[in-house]
Structure 1
């Protein structure tokens, strides 16, 4: 069985890490729908969750199969499959921009769910477009840019919260982190005969129960959720929701584009690590998995997850992604998630995500030519702003207020440049690529590509795809003009180079 699955010793660590990531998003989804929107828990667990699990299992199967094909094609046995799961940003967008407004205005949570199904279907169709332009984008966007943009995602969205949560549970997390440092960063493992994934889980669970972080009530509550619910086709509800979902297409377009950009970055990251997957097949798998989920009641699309180089570094093969998908599917149809979380502390698993974020960032530094190294750091800033903006807005929301009520002047006096955070942090997945391209094309003295990048950025800014909290025309006119001025500067540089007017830079290490 292990040989058929392509299972290796390193798959255990990847399995537990990816499973924790998927379960976190699973319970985020359920919690938002039940406690924020007000959907009945029974409806969420019996109508939505099974489709949610089926979509994840389908994606896991596709990426396992892609890994198996790559093994046959190359004759290698060290192929690592791509990880996948529900798109975390889409969970919040669907809940807060589609389901909640409709539920509040109509008083009908079931109608809101139908519209969300239609929205997910439309978003998946947009994701599918990546199958036809993904290779083209991969050719025109430098590898160093794709990897650097992904490193920002890894550090700020994948690693930052887990390390913060680890400091809230140091009795458990610190020892787990130390095991990771020794076994996955170091050269000689502690307890080498035990798979590190098992070791982390065992140590973390024992410490959590020993220091009173867990209690039996969690198990009791988890047992109450157990019950069989198989995915039921929801074609009628889906097609009823497509027409009203067209109104929300303005939010589906940028998220669909962002999701296939994420996928493209992860494919490039896997290629840099030695596993060159077919772009079109992976993009198709992404969109098809999301469509299957919507057919069975899940309004949240799937996506390729960050982390391939991290899982590869610990010796994972192709089996972990299939087994993770199957486990989430079983958990979703049997209602076992609450029981697992009642036994195993997330504080024992979060450090694995911290490790993966570090490895992704390290890959960007290792694979980027020394002269282009500034791109790694420039591409971080949109992600830093995105993380800080989310933190500020969530803090204000917890205090029962918002940025508009506080006022920009009060923010500025406190040294918080909220307007800048909104501008730089909105659309971070795409703007990090834009700024990375500007840096690399400047270093390569490729003014034509820099002009195209700047003009494209101006168009994206004018339409609100980047630098604005919502899509709309002319929301950031100053930034739009700023990009056009950058295009003008590179146009001057192009003609100056033609006439021999440009000189050497005054940075002594530019050719190092």
Structure 2
């Protein structure tokens, strides 16, 4: 986050380190306090001592979206960092309010969307957004990452840990850091430079910035609605993941905590919402209990209050941390395999496709941008001749969180022969496409490029309705009494 704001956008360092970062740490800390309270309530209600608190963290997609779709364009256009932050604060508030409003429907949605779908969507997120890039980073620096990864396989996946008396998390960081310094991947100069950010910078209220941004924020809020819905889905999936791992948490309370924590951070100058972070099953598998999420939130707050972020990255390389994210992604995906009945397994792979397309679309756009061009300039036909089906990537990859859920529902209701519910899922998909929430690069009503997708979803609904009609006819035919033929009746007489 700090790297994007300082080195990509070009915001003043004193704004990033002195205002945004402390408020960001405060928001994560507030959410972690709530999650700790929720975990203590579960312990009190059940008497269990193996409860794992929910993991708290920033919404990673929101960090990129608000940076590149809000802060960067506004700053480039106006050269006014204060104004760009004001717009972003309003954007964050809209995200938070979607979570607050949606908290009253969360349990209803969880009851009506099969667990296989929720966990499959989360598995796609874990593998493609959480684990894929760290895996690529690991193969860029194999002399460090490979040793860390094999230690993970032995200690966390295996049954016989190596160096049993040393906590594995500490072992991974220590080994990764030592190897990075031994192979010259870290620089003493970077440590010296990082010390310039030291200092105590407590968060301060910036309500005026939020109010001043309200009249000017509307043109930039289009991305807030679909991403707010996506964050809402993330929370649902992560809460369901915790429930599947044995830790039931109240959906409404968790979502209210996220919305209120994000609002608190926004009032102090943080434009990035917080969420239930992915990987509950992974943290639980390595022995995390109640205190770890509070320790994480406290650490985040201290790092941002005292400007320690740059220093930590100068000492501990990201490549030493990256394999841990790979592990969490794998465990997240493995959870859905364990929890899914055999006949529903195809749903897992159906849910993966939007996430794969989303990752590939992001990669393609970044490559074209680095080359100083875009898909529009190159042309979709030219890309298609090289095997890059850009239109398909755009349609399938945009709105992946909701698109994954829609297609998961369509697939599972087809498999379980629940055509009415399948028709409802298809109609919901058509409505989301109609308003540009999924399968479109931007929000908009009845965009010409999206209409074929709207019609296609409605056709799926029609097929489900036909299946429902045929099912009813079959049930009626089976219920009718068998009437004997006339000759058989005569012989009987």
TM-score, structure 1 length as denominator? Answer: 0.91
Structure 1: gaps of 5 or more residues: 1-28, 504-512
Could you say if the C-alpha distance between residues 502 and 450 of structure 1 is closer, same or farther in structure 2, counting changes exceeding 3 Å? farther
Question: Could you tell me which residue of structure 2 aligns to residue 279 of structure 1?
Answer: 251
Pick from 145, 168, 173 the counterpart of residue 145 of structure 2: 173
Rounded Cα–Cα distance in structure 1 between residues aligned with 2:220 and 2:313: 35
Question: Could you tell me which residue of structure 1 aligns to residue 105 of structure 2?
Answer: 133
Shift, 1:99, TM fit = 1.7
Where does structure 1 differ by over 3 angstroms across 4 or more consecutive aligned residues? Answer: none
> 1:477 aligned to 2:446?
no
Question: Could you tell me which residue of structure 1 aligns to residue 215 of structure 2?
Answer: 243
Pick from 471, 477, 485 the counterpart of residue 497 of structure 1: 471
Rounded Cα–Cα distance in structure 2 between residues aligned with 1:257 and 1:129: 11
| Deviation digits for residues 49-71 of structure 1 (CA, Å, limit 9, x no counterpart) | 11011111111111111111111
Aligned partner of residue 469 in structure 1, secondary structure: coil
> 1:341 aligned to 2:299?
no
Question: Could you tell me which residue of structure 2 aligns to residue 206 of structure 1?
Answer: 178
Could you say if the C-alpha distance between residues 171 and 294 of structure 1 is closer, same or farther in structure 2, counting changes exceeding 3 Å? same
Rounded Cα–Cα distance in structure 2 between residues aligned with 1:104 and 1:164: 31
Rounded Cα–Cα distance in structure 1 between residues aligned with 2:328 and 2:439: 28
Rounded Cα–Cα distance in structure 2 between residues aligned with 1:134 and 1:423: 27
> 1:434 aligned to 2:409?
no
Which of these two proteins has the greater Rg computed from alpha carbons? 2
> 1:467 aligned to 2:439?
yes
Question: Could you tell me which residue of structure 2 aligns to residue 92 of structure 1?
Answer: 64
Instruction: State which drifts further: 237-246 or 139-148.
Output: 237-246
Aligned partner of residue 468 in structure 1, secondary structure: coil
Q: Is the 8 A contact 1:118 1:243 kept in 2?
A: no
| Deviation digits for residues 448-507 of structure 1 (CA, Å, limit 9, x no counterpart) | 00000001100101111000011111231111100000011111101011111999xxxx
Give runs of aligned pairs for residues 117-196 of structure 1, distance below 5 A: 117-196=89-168
Pick from 261, 264, 274 the counterpart of residue 236 of structure 2: 264
| Deviation digits for residues 115-151 of structure 1 (CA, Å, limit 9, x no counterpart) | 1111211221111112101011101100000000110
Q: Is the 8 A contact 1:493 1:502 kept in 2?
A: no
Shift, 1:101, TM fit = 2.3
Pick from 341, 357, 382 the counterpart of residue 385 of structure 1: 357
Rounded Cα–Cα distance in structure 2 between residues aligned with 1:367 and 1:411: 40
Question: Could you tell me which residue of structure 2 aligns to residue 508 of structure 1?
Answer: none
Q: Is the 8 A contact 1:56 1:85 kept in 2?
A: yes
> 1:457 aligned to 2:395?
no
Aligned partner of residue 103 in structure 2, secondary structure: helix
Instruction: State which drifts further: 169-178 or 37-46.
Output: 37-46
Aligned partner of residue 275 in structure 2, secondary structure: strand
| Deviation digits for residues 369-413 of structure 1 (CA, Å, limit 9, x no counterpart) | 111110011100000000000010011111111111111111011
Q: Is the 8 A contact 1:131 1:279 kept in 2?
A: yes
TM-score, structure 2 length as denominator? Answer: 0.94
Pick from 190, 194, 209 the counterpart of residue 218 of structure 1: 190
Rounded Cα–Cα distance in structure 1 between residues aligned with 2:322 and 2:102: 31
Instruction: State which drifts further: 388-397 or 93-102.
Output: 93-102
| Deviation digits for residues 401-456 of structure 1 (CA, Å, limit 9, x no counterpart) | 11111111110110110000000000000011111101110111101000000011
| Deviation digits for residues 276-296 of structure 1 (CA, Å, limit 9, x no counterpart) | 001111000110110000010
Rounded Cα–Cα distance in structure 2 between residues aligned with 1:35 and 1:310: 32
Rounded Cα–Cα distance in structure 1 between residues aligned with 2:433 and 2:452: 10
Rounded Cα–Cα distance in structure 1 between residues aligned with 2:81 and 2:356: 35
Question: Could you tell me which residue of structure 1 aligns to residue 281 of structure 2?
Answer: 309
> 1:58 aligned to 2:16?
no
Question: Could you tell me which residue of structure 1 aligns to residue 460 of structure 2?
Answer: 486
Rounded Cα–Cα distance in structure 2 between residues aligned with 1:175 and 1:35: 31
| Deviation digits for residues 137-192 of structure 1 (CA, Å, limit 9, x no counterpart) | 10110000000011000111111111111111111111111111011111110000
Question: Could you tell me which residue of structure 1 aligns to residue 486 of structure 2?
Answer: none
Task: Give the aligned length.
Answer: 475
Give runs of aligned pairs for residues 367-386 of structure 1, distance below 5 A: 367-386=339-358
Rounded Cα–Cα distance in structure 2 between residues aligned with 1:80 and 1:434: 30
Shift, 1:271, TM fit = 0.4
Pick from 354, 357, 362 the counterpart of residue 334 of structure 2: 362
> 1:81 aligned to 2:53?
yes
Aligned partner of residue 500 in structure 1, secondary structure: helix
Rounded Cα–Cα distance in structure 2 between residues aligned with 1:247 and 1:318: 42
Rounded Cα–Cα distance in structure 1 between residues aligned with 2:433 and 2:420: 20
> 1:402 aligned to 2:374?
yes
Question: Could you tell me which residue of structure 2 aligns to residue 5 of structure 1?
Answer: none
Rounded Cα–Cα distance in structure 2 between residues aligned with 1:208 and 1:251: 39
